[in-house]
């Protein structure tokens, strides 16, 4: 199974492998022309992804430097903002002694975060893992050759699943697995959630995702926790 739960390889984001584009849904040209923002143009943002499909520099698997891994959904990927304004890039600027990797992927879930960390293991020499948990109702479905990101709000769940307790339990299981991975690989985990992301009023990206100031606020929360130990 593609991107299966197997330790020892970095999973890919197939749709974004070597992406180099001014647009990446839902930040698309059609939406922007319907709702233009004066601080942005059609070419002011570039989505550049590495050979694994992440909006981050190419991985150096031979590096001995410790790393900080940043995981989450489109809020972490940086949909709607320049790459240098996304919160993982601000972490990279603040801690140059670390290899800081943005492993966020748009539309992903808590399942995606745990699977990515399980697959990656210690290949990137992680010492700190920063998680911005996506919307709680999202999860992954697995097919023979791909993984499908979805949400209970898409209408595919059985009625008995459409209750908060089901997804609260799923989030607790994912967090328990993160704790076990952190113990196994000896890294520190710092958690926040998109529900509590310090979004600044009227600060939006080129689409409707949080803008640069909200990303800066998020980065400061992580930075203060890293510094305080």
* pLDDT tens digit sequence for 30-82: 999 999 999 999 999 999 999 999 999 999 999 999 999 999 999 999 999 99
CA distance 114 to 5: 9
CA distance 63 to 40: 36
State the pLDDT confidence band at 158, using cuts at 50, 70 and 90: low
Q: For position 10, what pLDDT does the model report?
A: 95
pLDDT tens track for 161-212: 667 788 899 999 999 999 999 999 999 999 999 998 999 989 999 999 999 9
Q: For position 174, what pLDDT does the model report?
A: 97
CA distance 30 to 20: 18
CA distance 105 to 16: 9
CA distance 131 to 91: 13
Residues 6 or more apart in contact with residue 85 via CB below 8 angstroms: 78, 211, 212, 215, 216
pLDDT tens track for 7-25: 999 999 999 999 999 999 8
Q: For position 129, what pLDDT does the model report?
A: 98
Indicate if the pLDDT at residue 157 is higher than 80.
no
Q: For position 201, what pLDDT does the model report?
A: 87
Q: pTM of the full predicted structure?
A: 0.94
State the pLDDT confidence band at 160, using cuts at 50, 70 and 90: low
State the pLDDT confidence band at 1, using cuts at 50, 70 and 90: low
Residue 218's CB: how many other CB atoms inside 10 A? 27
User: Residue 65 CA to chain centroid, in angstroms?
Assistant: 22
Indicate if the pLDDT at residue 155 is higher than 90.
no
The alpha carbons of the chain give a radius of gyration, in whole angstroms, of 17
Q: Is there a contact between 195 and 134 (Cβ–Cβ < 8 Å)? A: no
Q: For position 148, what pLDDT does the model report?
A: 79
pLDDT tens track for 98-147: 999 999 999 999 999 999 999 999 999 999 999 999 999 898 888 777 88
**Residue among 181, 31, 46, 53 nearest 108 (CA):** 53
Q: For position 3, what pLDDT does the model report?
A: 62
**Residue among 74, 140, 125, 137 nearest 102 (CA):** 74
Q: Is there a contact between 26 and 205 (Cβ–Cβ < 8 Å)? A: no
DSSP state at residue 48? E
Higher-confidence position of 35 and 160: 35
């Amino acid at each position: 199974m593609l991107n299966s739960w197997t330790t020892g390889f970095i999973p890919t984001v197939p749709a974004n492998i070597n992406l180099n584009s001014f647009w990446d849904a839902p930040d698309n040209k059609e939406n922007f022309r319907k709702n233009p923002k004066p601080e942005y143009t059609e070419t002011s943002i570039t989505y550049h992804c590495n050979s694994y499909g992440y909006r981050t520099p190419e991985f150096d698997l031979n590096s001995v430097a410790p790393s900080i891994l940043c995981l989450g959904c489109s809020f972490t990927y940086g949909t709607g903002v320049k790459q240098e304004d996304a919160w993982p890039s601000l972490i990279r600027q603040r801690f140059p002694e670390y290899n800081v990797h943005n492993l966020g992927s748009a539309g992903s879930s808590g399942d995606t975060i745990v699977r990515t960390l399980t697959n990656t293991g210690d290949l990137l020499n992680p010492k700190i893992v920063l998680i911005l948990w996506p919307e709680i109702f999202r999860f992954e479905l697995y097919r023979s050759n791909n993984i499908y990101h979805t949400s209970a709000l898409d209408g595919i769940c059985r009625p008995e699943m459409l209750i908060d307790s089901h997804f609260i339990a799923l989030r607790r299981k994912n967090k328990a697995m993160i704790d076990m991975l952190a113990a196994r690989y000896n890294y520190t985990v710092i958690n926040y959630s998109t529900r509590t992301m310090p979004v600044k009023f009227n600060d939006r990206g080129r689409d409707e995702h949080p803008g640069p100031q909200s990303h800066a606020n998020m980065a400061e929360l992580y930075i203060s926790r890293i510094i305080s130990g």
